Amino acid sequence: MAKSNDLSTSCVHTGEQSGLHGSPHTPIYNSTTFLFKSTSDILDVVEGRKAGSLYTRYGLNPSIISLEEKLAAIEGAEASLVFSSGMAAESAVFFALCRKGVLCLGDVYGGTQELITHQLPVLGIKTSFLLKSELGQLEAELKKGFGVVFFETPTNPAMDLFDITGVSKLAHQYGALVVVDNTFATPVNQLPLSLGADLVVHSATKYLGGHSDITAGTVMGSKKLIGEIWPWRKNLGQMIAPETAALLSRSLKTLSVRVKAQNESAMTIAKEISKHSKIKRVLYPGLESNPDYHLAKSQMTGFGGMMTLELKGDRAATSSFVDKLKIFGLAPSLGGPESLVNQPALLTHYGLGEEERSRRGISDSMVRLSIGLESVKDLLEDLIQALE
Ligand code: PLP
């Protein structure tokens, strides 16, 4: 197929290899290894003169190669690598590129926070954190010298935004690479590489997989950086199974329609629910009342399916609201077809402890919602019956 710059077309067509029988998508190659006619043929692939399949753990398998072409195209990247989980993708990036240290901005997923706080320092990697409220110190911190600046935007659960272009310009002045976790926004709503970031990572377990049935991760960026990460994935053995790769390729075909529907429902719910007398505030980048609204408009084309409600009530009243929901399921994940709810202070951010949560503005009465693909009318009715 001719190349298209349109994300929806890339989601459907890019990377697909029809195989012998004209299948409209790449068949699943569950082979662990691939046969060659001669030693010179195998050497051509091993020594990089010819593209080809060789060994699945290396990623040299048609199901994986086809998926990586699609992932790179939808994020506007030269190349991508797929991994067995989002954490596998992040850890490979850190191992490959963080000799000079990691500077982490804002709230990040708990596993990322743990990896940067506890595991990287054991390997002698310098790490540092700045909250959004401390961003005035960014330049002073960068002067200390870091290999990578890492952040999520929007963040979890406060839905804070970071200025991708501004942070990237400053980080580059001080020789640091910028890695953005684009899991919440998805490439449908935000393209960090086009805004100046060097690498994008995703937990593909979330919107890219989109059906709560795949654990996977990915990194996208220039051929040069992806080439530096490749041997780490190979030798840490972080490869995704070909069957999972095929499921992820299948899911990506509907990424654009799923995310656009979730954007629309989330916007309706954010607007309607913010009028309710029992709601203190709704944290959603698409609301004009959001302090980051103008930044959101400048770097996002849609505002996503994630939002956080803050209730007028204590921890117990908030838990009682969560427990009364009938359609929203109580679970820590996000990005699937089913709407999910979680009270961060008691689930995803419990491990931070009360003092750290309060320093980060994560209150007991916050409830994070992942808006799924159900009818928006049913979702609103569910929220309202639980509030009342
Ligand atoms: N990044 C974000 C924003 C996440 O929410 C998560 C998991 O919840 C991860 C990374 C880690 O992804 P995985 O669970 O696929 O390893």
pLDDT (0 to 100) of residue 338:
98
Determine the distance separating the centroid of ligand 1 and the alpha carbon of 34, expressed in angstroms.
32
CB 107 less than 6 A from any atom of ligand 1: no
Cα–Cα distance, 201 to 79 (Å, whole number): 12
Determine the distance separating the centroid of ligand 1 and the alpha carbon of 126, expressed in angstroms.
22
Task: Convert the pLDDT of each residue in 181-212 to its tens digit.
Answer: 999 999 999 999 999 999 999 999 999 999 99
Tokens of 199: 């690498």
Cα–Cα distance, 150 to 129 (Å, whole number): 10
Query: Given a cut of 60, is residue 74 above it in pLDDT?
Result: yes
pLDDT (0 to 100) of residue 20:
78
Kindly report the pTM of this predicted structure: 0.97
Q: How confident is the model at residue 233 (pLDDT cuts 50, 70, 90)?
A: very high
pLDDT (0 to 100) of residue 302:
98
CB 16 less than 6 A from any atom of ligand 1: no
* Residues forming a β-bridge with 328: none
Average confidence (pLDDT) over 44-70: 95
Average confidence (pLDDT) over 11-26: 90
Cα–Cα distance, 216 to 251 (Å, whole number): 12
Helix (H) or strand (E) holding 43: helix 39-46
Determine the distance separating the centroid of ligand 1 and the alpha carbon of 35, expressed in angstroms.
36
CB 362 less than 6 A from any atom of ligand 1: no
pLDDT (0 to 100) of residue 347:
87
Q: Which residue has the tokens 């290899």?
A: 17
pLDDT (0 to 100) of residue 205:
98
Task: Convert the pLDDT of each residue in 265-286 to its tens digit.
Answer: 999 999 999 999 999 999 999 9
Query: Using an 8 Å Cβ cutoff, are 310 and 363 in contact?
Result: yes
CB 212 less than 6 A from any atom of ligand 1: no
Residue nearest to atom 11 of ligand 1 (CA): 86
CB 110 less than 6 A from any atom of ligand 1: no
pLDDT (0 to 100) of residue 210:
98
